Amino acid sequence: MNSSDLVARWDVALPDKVYKVSFEHGTTSGKRIIWVNDKEVLRKNWMFKLVGREQFKLGNSVATINIDAAGGFAYEYSLEVNGKSLKKFVENRKKSSKTWAFMLTGEPTRVVFEKDSLDVWVNGEKLNTAGEFVEDGTETHFTYRNHNCYIKAISSGKKRDGIIHALIVDGEEIPSED
């Protein structure tokens, strides 16, 4: 990456992993380079139009970088994911998923629970699960590297708070990221 042309960086948390997006924009040459997790995914050299949009894949999502004039020779850069601004996308993700990040036997571990589909992702891998109704809610059971895990869903008793999700690994509750 040419740090002199690096104009924007974003972190985008998707179910499979967190993607680091970097954007280089040569304002004299019009060059545009998009990097995802330090891998070049798009390059355009000698673009005469310095503003515009660049679309690329981000996991199973579609991302777009918008390049807008901000007056003079200044530019503003924004990222959209699946047609939503990054801010709106993150707000929606927080409503539709729950994330836990922790160390499991010395390994950084990230568990994402998709509330709408009940899918469970661990370190980028979608796992098989078994749902079960229990006295005070539901449990979604799965195994990861010989660890018995489940996500417990119980009512908060308050309409505003809705359902509370807790991750239990080998009998211990894991604090959530959000």
Q: Could you report the per-residue pLDDT of 122-148, keeping only the tens digit for each?
A: 999 999 999 999 999 999 999 999 999
Written as six digits, the tokens of 2 are 């040419």
- Parse the chain into domains and list their residue ranges: 3-82, 96-174
- Helices and strands (H and E) in the chain: how many: 1, 17
Class of CATH domain 96-174: mainly beta
pTM here? 0.82
* Per-residue model confidence as pLDDT tens for the chain (178 residues): 666 789 999 999 999 999 999 999 987 878 999 999 999 999 999 877 888 999 999 999 999 999 999 887 789 999 999 999 999 999 999 899 999 999 999 999 999 999 999 999 999 999 999 999 999 999 999 999 999 999 999 988 887 778 999 999 999 999 987 6
Q: Which CATH architecture has domain 3-82?
A: Beta Barrel (2.40)
Question: CB within 8 A of 121, min separation 6: which ones?
Answer: 15, 16, 110, 111, 112, 114, 127
* Two domains, one topology: 3-82 and 96-174: yes
